[in-house]
Amino acid sequence: MHIPDGFLSIPVWGTMDAIAIPSIGYIARRAQREFDHHRAPLMGVMGAFIFAAQMINFPVGNGTSGHLVGGALLSFTLGPAAASIVMTAILATQALVFQDGGILALGANVFNMAIAGVLAGYLPYMLLRGRRAGVFLGGMASVLVSALLALGELLRSGVRMPPAVLAISIGLFLVSAVIEGAITLAVMQALERIQPGFVRRPQGMRGAGALALIMASIALAGAGVFIASHQPDGIQRLALEPGIASHATLLTKSLAGLFGLFVVYVLCLGASRVLAAGRSLVAPRAN
């Protein structure tokens, strides 16, 4: 799903940077006004979980893989504004530390997944009042919107895609969207079983729910690379060049995943503390 460097034209990535930067600034201010201090630990835990889950690619057909994006899941548990901040931290860590997604394409990736994808995922959930159908459709919508925006940006940048390739790409993204919806629903239901009432009051997650997410994050980051598909995802397949392969060992990827997990957790927890502190300063003036 991440657009790598070298595929977006200067006008496209420049425009996306110009849109994404002020948009995230506005969302951060909105998140600060709406922030519930009870969600501070949850931001770090959910950010680490989504980062780890994104490392696990699953086959979707035609030599292509997909992975959980997680924008919808973040919006259900944190609210859309805080979810955008967490997803931005994840994408920035992936681009700046792990070269997953280009630095020049970071604005486009942030807009596609952290802004548009999060909002598209939250809309069905909100309209259907948190019902299972809303959770599933939200997961689907977040991936489809992010993928279609990425394809549009690539086409606008002059990346040539024959109609057959474009049709196959859209079909594979649809499969990934269905899987995203199913995984999102499964995770929400699992958390509800571990801690009844979690779906309606995610900000109150404590004890078993938090521990389950932490343990799942460590397992996914540390051991998931050994079972994940090594096929490229849809966007990466378009960018794949013959004869170039990764020389990183699975152990190296596992250790890098655990390091990234720590970085994302610290960033998201730090962001939550900043939002909480800002909320405490804004609240007295509002009264």
Looking at the domain assignment, is residue 136 inside a domain? Answer: yes
The domain total for the chain is 1
CATH code, 189: 1.10.1760.20
Does residue 189 fall inside a structural domain?
A: yes
How far apart are alpha carbons 143 and 136 in whole angstroms? 11
Q: In terms of Cα–Cα distance, which of 183, 114, 182, 112 is closest to 148?
A: 112
Question: How many CB atoms are located within 10 Å of the residue 175 CB?
Answer: 17
pTM confidence score: 0.84
Residue 172 lies in a domain: yes
Q: How confident is the model at residue 246, as a pLDDT?
A: 40
Residue 5 resides in a domain? no
pLDDT of residue 245: 37
Alpha carbons 117 and 156: distance in angstroms, whole number: 19
- Whether residue 40 lies inside any domain: the answer is yes
d(CA 79, CA 227) in angstroms, rounded, equals 32
The enclosing H or E element of 57 equals strand 57-61
| pLDDT value at residue 200 | 60
Calpha distance 186→132 (Å, rounded): 10
The answer to the question of residue 283 being in a domain is: no
Model pLDDT, residue 143: 95
Name the DSSP letter for residue 195.
Answer: S
Q: What is the pLDDT of residue 69?
A: 93
82 occurs within a structural domain: yes
Report which DSSP code applies to 110: I
Three-class SS state of 233: strand
Would you say residue 1 lies in a domain? no
Query: What pLDDT sits at residue 236?
Result: 66
pLDDT tens digits in sequence order for the chain, 287 residues long: 788 888 899 999 999 999 999 999 999 999 888 777 666 778 888 999 999 888 888 887 766 777 889 999 999 989 999 999 999 999 999 888 887 777 889 999 999 999 999 999 999 999 998 899 999 999 999 999 999 999 999 999 988 888 888 888 898 899 999 999 999 999 999 888 887 766 666 555 556 667 788 888 888 877 776 777 667 666 766 655 333 334 345 566 677 778 888 888 888 888 888 887 766 655 555 44
Range of the domain at 38: 10-278
Question: Which residues, including other chains, have CB under 8 Å from residue 35's CB and lie 6 or more apart?
Answer: 82, 272, 275, 276, 278, 279
